[in-house]
A and B are shown apart, each in its own frame.
Chain A
Amino acid sequence: MLTLSHISKTFNPGTVNEKRALTDLSLHLEPGSFVTIIGSNGAGKSTLFNAIAGSFFVDSGSILVDGQDVTFMPEYKRAKQMGRLFQDPMRGSAPGMTIEENLALAAGSGGWFSHMTGGDRARFRDQLALLGMGLEDRMKQPVGLLSGGQRQALTLLMATMHPPKLLLLDEHTAALDPGTAEKVLNITKDVVAQHHITTLMVTHNMKNALELGDRTLMMDGGRIVLDVQGEERKGMTVSDLLERFRAGAGKELDNDRILLSE
């Protein structure tokens, strides 16, 4: 579904602030796979997502989504095939517009001059009800009034309204309180399983990284230093993972937010 071949990205080339954020990184994802990514601070996790989503173009290498070369496709065009959630729950929705207006824009059905219909509203209402947050009764309220968890759940709904080929989750529960984080994570699992969406999820929760999905990547210094899946991954514990990271990266995992256990 996603094939990255030898992509590299250097920020501020030729200056003292030069930073090699991605170094000759290759990755292939099978359709329907759910991959979790962990790594140190500055390992290049978010840069990898920015490269895939098209926030910038890579310096070298190519990016294929479902066989289509998107290496130089602008971000807004790639968005047709990708959904993306950020750590900041405020980034995914427009606060000054109502819940239904946000959903209508994400749904993107009809032409430029189409209006929201009663049918659209009924559909939005059903989908909001599935979140179990009572948002279906607040559809005329501005999104700015929602809590972080509610906004993140709404963003997830917006991102998956037309099931994308690829879902990029960049620590999307990290800014939420533990209870809400779990709720949003459960909704994520349901949505991904329901539509068989190929998913990449960055997390700082080591336990989640091993429990969720079917493959775990560890990144360091702009490279993938560890890639575990299948039988090998099944019996793995957090300490095994850390041990393997040390072996792969040649140093301790260093992340000030990392959660080693619950």
Chain B
Amino acid sequence: MDLALVQTALELGLICSLTVLALFLSYTMLNVCDLSTDGCFTLGAAVGAVVAISGHPFLAIAAAMGAGVCSGFITALLQTKMGVDSLLAGIIVNTGLYSINIAVMSGSSLLNMNQTDTVFTMVRDALEGTPLAGQYRLVVAAVAVALVVAFLSLFLNTRLGLAIRATGNNPDMVRSSSINPAFTTVVGLCVANAFTGLSGCLLAQSQRSADVNIGTGMVTIALASLLIGGTVLGRGGIFTRACGVVLGSFIFRLVYTIALRFDMPAFMLKLVSSIIVVLAISGPYLKSRWPMIRRRLTYRSTAGKGGGEQC
């Protein structure tokens, strides 16, 4: 296998692992399946692209994260204060974001950044002549991931972070610690969606274009990576688990890249991610049911031999 493929997988894996880390916070910690992830990812890409095209590549990152916070805030508000079911809240926001994303891109569904200075081109120019020159994409992605992992492992051990984790684990207990679970849900979703926005912004800048479908299926891909990461490094402290999540994202991309080498068409990515999510979630469930299923099957076959139909 050639090295360029591994490098592409690593770059994509790292950039998308920011979304996986977002789901690590919202899905694993807060126990909210945030289905607005797709739209929020695109929002980050669109806002980031618009700001970068106007000549501020670094401000683009802050803007994309800020847009993510707003999106997360609305999703959280719908489910904590307005009686909308949490899955439905995500779907509603996701649908609404489609229009907003096109509006952000001034009515077009595609923004081109070929002539634009991005974070990546700036780092490329800065690294010119150093041994890392060819890996500028990797450098940017790795720095972003390292910062987010460091932030998460500090944040989730603060009092606020503990409260967010407890909200997903036992909301009764949060209330009895005089903390409003609605508040922790809002904070958790805002932070998570900031990372999703960042992830979208970086992907758009690295591929030098943002289109309205850039985030489609991202939530499933991220969930697949998250669950793979959980199998690899699911135990231990927050830092270990966050590293496992990043590793999961990389493994997912690597497997996918290898599959592409074996002539799997590129459009199969989303089916593959769906299947991985199904396997990862229902695998343990079916495994625990297996002894009972087997007993029932053997019972049926022996009862059949003994004569007489069993209902």
Enumerate chain A interface residues (CB-CB to B < 8 A). Answer: 74-77, 79-80, 83-84, 91-97, 101-102, 104-106, 108, 110-116, 158-159
Stretch among B13-21, B165-173, B257-265 lining the A interface: B165-173
Known A-B contacts A94-B166, A94-B169, A95-B170; A76 and B159 likewise in contact (beta carbons under 8 Å): no
The minimal Cβ–Cβ distance linking A32 to chain B, given in whole angstroms, is 22
B residues near A115, Cβ cutoff 8 Å: 154, 157-158
Q: How large is the interface on B (under 10, 10 to 19, 20 to 34, 35 or more residues)?
A: 20 to 34
Chain B contact residues, majority secondary structure:
helix
Q: Is B215 an interface residue (CB 8 A)?
A: no
Give chain B's interface residues, CB within 8 Å of chain A.
154, 157-160, 162-163, 165-166, 168-170, 172-181
A101 to B163, CA, bound (A): 10
Distance, CA A116 to CA B173, complexed state (A) = 18
- Going nearest first, the 8 A-B pairs with the smallest beta carbon separation are A94-B169, A112-B160, A79-B178, A94-B170, A94-B166, A80-B178, A76-B175, A96-B169
Complex Cα distance, B158 from A101, in Å, reads 10
Given A91-B170, A94-B169, A106-B177 contact (CB < 8 Å): yes
> Would you call A114 and B159 a contact (CB within 8 A)?
yes
In the bound complex, how far is the Cα of B305 from the Cα of A239, in angstroms?
Answer: 62
A80–B178 Cα distance when bound, in Å, is: 5
Chain B residues positioned under 8 Å from A83 (CB to CB)? 176
Which one of A102, A106, A112, A159 contacts B158 once the chains associate, using CB atoms below 8 Å? A112
Q: Which residues of B contact A108 (CB under 8 A)?
A: 159, 177-179
A94 — nearest CB in chain B belongs to which residue?
Answer: B169
Tell me if B166 and A92 are in contact (CB < 8 A): no
Q: Is the beta-carbon distance between A105 and B158 smaller than 8 angstroms?
A: no
Contact B166 A114 (CB under 8 A): no
Supply 18 further A-B pairs (C-beta < 8 A) apart from A83-B176, A92-B172, A95-B169.
A76-B178, A76-B180, A76-B181, A79-B176, A79-B178, A93-B170, A94-B169, A96-B168, A104-B162, A105-B177, A108-B177, A108-B178, A108-B179, A110-B159, A111-B159, A114-B158, A115-B157, A115-B158
**Cα(A116)–Cα(B156), bound, Å:** 11
Distance in Å: Cβ of B222 to nearest Cβ of chain A:
21
A139 CB to closest chain B CB (Å) equals 14
Bound-complex Cα distance A83 to B172 (A): 12
Smallest CB gap from B175: residue in A: A76
* Chain A positions within 8 Å of B163 at CB level: 105
Nearest B residue to A116 via CB reads: B157
Please, which residues of chain B bring their CB within 8 A of the CB of A102?
A: 166, 173
Kindly state the separation between the CA atoms of A76 and B177 in the bound complex, as whole angstroms: 7
Question: In whole angstroms, what is the CA distance A96 to B162 when docked?
Answer: 11
State the CA gap A71–B147 with chains docked (Å): 46
